[in-house]
A and B are shown apart, each in its own frame.
Chain A
């Protein structure tokens, strides 16, 4: 997806379209998903028109709904990570592979992908951390039924006034988050040490 964006002129517009949502507030983008995924939204209408479901469906207050919205909110970060690893990519290797008779598909699979994987994994770690600690999106799409640590912490602090429990939740999230991020980064760096040099 992103490799084409940097090799071809004019494909810069795609990059622009991917990055532009970063300038729109997260609450606004999430509100959009709440409208799309709700029982009267276009998703439900489309599924009913296609005859896949008989009753209006709603992905609000479900895990799938939160995941879809979070993908939208965070995908620019992954694109940035992959895009910047492609910036360091020498286009001559593509020409070399092509001159040696590689097909487009096999060049992509055997030359491009291996160089992009570390960047993609590093981006994935960032996205993991940001989704695990996200507040607005799970709060709006997940509602009261689907609880995550961030929304529970908010409720303990500002609803139940139980600051001790709220702080404990936040610290737990911080510690788990740091452990996962450090662990995953170490793993990626160790496995792909040659690419980072």
Chain B
């Protein structure tokens, strides 16, 4: 059994299970008539987009500013009221996480090339 043997066996397992599932499900597909909650999926995709943006921005902005921005944008996106509390919580969260991960644990997060932080 070489390097491809076990992955091939796994692929066969998944393919066989998938095929059996498909055969069992096809007769029910038409009967089910389920509606797809596209609105919910789009909101989930939006949240994934914010997270992806944070990953892209971190090398530019640095750890703490990115976390503050991520907290601010996600909380607003999730429906937080747009008042003074929102930026205060975002900044507070970034400060607490910075203290825990950088201050206490010494994790070397990237410094932002734009901010130097």
Report if A and B associate in a common complex: no
- Using a CB–CB distance below 8 Å, which chain A residues touch chain B? none
